[in-house]
Amino acid sequence: MAKKNTNTQTNIAKRADKIRDLLDSKKGENIAIYDLEDKDYIAQCVIIATALAGKHSFALLDFLRSELKPLGEVFYSTDEESEDWIIADLGEIMVHIFTENTRKRFNLEEFLENYFQARRYDLHKSN
């Protein structure tokens, strides 16, 4: 796989930071960003967050849409069939919003870290 240019990488990182900040501002928990640049995966970046409850999952997705669409972010598709695991495809970025038990059960983090050797970046608050 060819190396992406630095401007593309920087743009993806800025977009991921914005998404992380939005999720955090609405009480998304245990937010992790996985860098999959140069990996054979469907996205270059995966963001995983835990919702407080099922309805909170939908609220987080709705908030992301309302804040990101005006900035030009495109939601190519979303999987909203279950409040326990919502997926939003934003092109190079894939967002997964889980309830706590579902996140533990599917353990997407382990899959990304072990199979793809993805690097994880957690949300670290300065407070």
Domain locations in the chain as residue ranges: 6-122
Tell me how far apart the alpha carbons of residues 52 and 13 are, in angstroms, rounded to a whole number. Answer: 26
| CATH code for the part of the protein at 6-122 | 3.30.460.10
Tell me how far apart the alpha carbons of residues 16 and 22 are, in angstroms, rounded to a whole number. Answer: 10
Question: Two tokens at 116?
Answer: 């793809």
Per-residue tens of pLDDT for the chain, all 127 residues? 344 556 677 899 999 999 999 999 999 999 999 999 888 889 999 999 999 999 999 999 999 999 999 999 999 999 999 999 999 999 999 999 999 999 999 999 999 988 888 888 775 544 3
Tell me how far apart the alpha carbons of residues 80 and 54 are, in angstroms, rounded to a whole number. Answer: 11
Task: Enumerate residues 6+ apart whose C-beta is below 8 A from 48.
Answer: 30, 31, 32, 34, 95, 96, 98, 103, 108, 109
**pTM confidence score:** 0.88
